[in-house]
Amino acid sequence: MTHPHLDPSAMDDGGLGVRSVDVLLAGQASSGAFVASPNFPTYGYSWLRDGSFCARALDVVGEHQRAGDFHRWVERTIVGQRDRVEAVVSKLAAGITPDHEEMLPTRYTLDGDLEHHDPADPWPNYQLDGYGTWLWELREHLRSSGSEEFDKEAVELAARYLVAAWRTDCCDCWEELGDGQHASTLAAIAAGLQAAGTLLDEPAHLDEAVQVRSYLLETFVRDGIFRKGAADDRLDASLLWLVLPFGVVAADDPVMQRTVEELREDLAGPGGGLYRYLGDTYYGGGQWVLLTCWLAWYDAVVGRRADFEVRRRWVVQQATAELDLPEQILTEVQDPRMVEPWEKRWGPVANPLLWSHAMYLIMSEAATPWK
């Protein structure tokens, strides 16, 4: 299949770019939601965060209508949670912190309903980054597509929810560590509130975005680099999100530059991929395709062409014979003893992962000036 704005001859990837678009389109339900992975039952849901990047990738290749279908699905889903938003906002305004089960979930069914997860296999479901990511990417979609259509009620509900909840502890972007605040989450919130303030012409949301950003810069920089959590000094590859796409700091910000160099030193695998963080044991803690694409995206933006090519080649080499990209690679994992337990629990690593394919397309588009 051919796609607008996608030139396979310029990508030198054996058809991976075309396959990536096809995976995204095939993984989009009639509702507009993107399934996280079609062949991994545990990921049979739609995440606002993952889906927002899938929509961005479709905008990159000119599939604006299909990207818009996702944003319409999110709008309907959030409006459908109006009563839950109002209850959370009211409780927080009264100084009462709701239980995590009362908050908006991080993932929904493809029809926009709440999931019914097996209580015998608990899985945290309270995160805030997805709502901020969606608001930011909605604005980007409107810019790239030239559309002016969006549901103001959905944007206002999402923004009010973030304004009320951003100081609460939630899970990080990996659905782990639910007892603190996390830099990449706050970056998504700051960017999302900025986008909402712009879309709604609402100064209060813009002011709140400034407060979130200031808190992030004051709280998460220690010893000259950004840290994963307010009380967590580890490095995490999601710190790249502070620059791309959220723009909380510039790519040439000295603290960010030092942080990225630390990421390269501490989290780069022997083959060129990128680990999430040191000590990761999920499927042994392998190198993640989408995060490797993120570092390549950063390298493209700052003009490190040789580094970009190393990452790009590594990603292309991880594709299967069918040109599918998995979530992570199980060679050179951090804890080999933890591969088998996860495979017994949930099966083989998710493959294809739509988010991996989305980031491959986004990364590739960032290097267009070099082609």
- Coil, strand or helix: which one is 328? strand
Q: What is the Cβ-side half-sphere exposure of residue 126, based on CA atoms within 13 angstroms?
A: 19
**First CA to last CA distance, the chain:** 22
Q: Which of 151, 156, 169, 175 is flagged as catalytic?
A: 175
Residues 6+ apart with CB under 8 A from 274: 237, 263, 267, 268, 287, 288, 291, 292, 294, 295, 311
**152-165 and 203-219 are packed helices; what angle lies between their axes, rounded to 10 degrees?**
40
Q: Which amino acid would we find at residue 50?
A: D
The CA-based angle 267-225-251, given to 5 degrees, is 85
Whether residue 7 lies in the annotated active site: no
Q: Are β-strands 221-222 and 225-226 bridged in parallel, bridged antiparallel, or unpaired?
A: antiparallel
Q: Are β-strands 225-226 and 274-275 bridged in parallel, bridged antiparallel, or unpaired?
A: unpaired
Q: Which CA distances in Å does 351 have to 37, 108, 239?
A: 7, 20, 25
Whether residue 327 lies in the annotated active site: yes
Q: Are 323 and 19 in contact (CB under 8 A)?
A: yes
Residues 6+ apart with CB under 8 A from 272: 292, 310, 311, 313, 314
Whether residue 218 lies in the annotated active site: no
Q: Which CA distances in Å does 71 have to 37, 192, 351?
A: 19, 14, 24
Which pair of tokens denotes residue 280? 């990761």
Q: Which of 172, 208, 299, 365 is flagged as catalytic?
A: 172
E strand residue ranges, the chain: 46-47, 107-108, 221-222, 225-226, 274-275, 287-288, 328-329
Q: Are 350 and 43 in contact (CB under 8 A)?
A: yes
**Which DSSP letter does residue 33 get?**
P
Active site members: 172, 175, 327
